[in-house]
Amino acid sequence: MVESFSTPVLCQALIGRASEHDMLYQLIERARNGQGHVVLVCVEAGIGKSRLLAEAKAQAAGDFLILQGNCFQVDSSYPYAPLLDLLRAFATQSPLAAAESSMMRDFARLLPELAQSLPDPLPAPLPDPEQEKRRLFAAFTRFFRELTGHCYCS
């Protein structure tokens, strides 16, 4: 007899990632004490990134604004796919902060749904693709700095 489950069955124990879990927990504690960090988890598929990050996010929930950008195989043709995913998460999780963020205007060409809410037309893109890329990287830098200048803690 084959049984089916209506909800996924997840192992409650985190297996084989104790050192990574401990490192993330230490970084979360440091962030709670005012020492911010950025964590990039980038390894091959299927070795437990999602489960590890779910644990870390659960430990940090309620104390921090948590933004996560994902990149899937279908996104491989989209430049900046994980960062765009992260920006969409920010606009969804914190619509008031996103509306007040002067930086979100810099991303409106990449996220057309943002352009609809802007009062003024978008400036023309820079003619040189390298200049446009540098402008975009500078905008991401300002965006992350702006986020760290605000308290999203409860």
| Residue 132 CA, distance from chain mean position | 22
Domain-terminating residue out of 64, 80, 108: 64
Residue-wise pLDDT for 38-66, tens only, equals 777 777 777 788 888 888 889 888 888 78
Q: Are residues 90 and 36 in the same domain?
A: no
Give the residue numbers spanning the domain of 60: 1-64
**Number of domains present in the structure of the chain:** 2
pTM given for the model = 0.64
Question: Of the candidates 48, 64, 80, which is a domain's last residue?
Answer: 64
Torsions phi, psi of 115, nearest 5?
A: -60, -30
Lookup: tokens for 87: 């920006």
The Cα 24–Cα 52 span in angstroms is 9
| Same domain, residue pair 57 and 80 | no
What type of residue sits at position 75? D
Same domain for 25 and 57: yes
In percent, the amount of the chain with pLDDT more than 90 equals 3
Tally of CA atoms within 13 A in the half-sphere of 21 that contains its CB: 14
Which of 25, 41, 64 terminates a domain? The answer is 64
Low-confidence ranges of the chain (pLDDT < 50): 9, 151-154
Sequence-separated (6 or more) residues with CB below 8 Å from residue 148 = 36
Whole-number Cα distances in Å, 37 to 27, 83, 129, 151: 7, 17, 30, 15
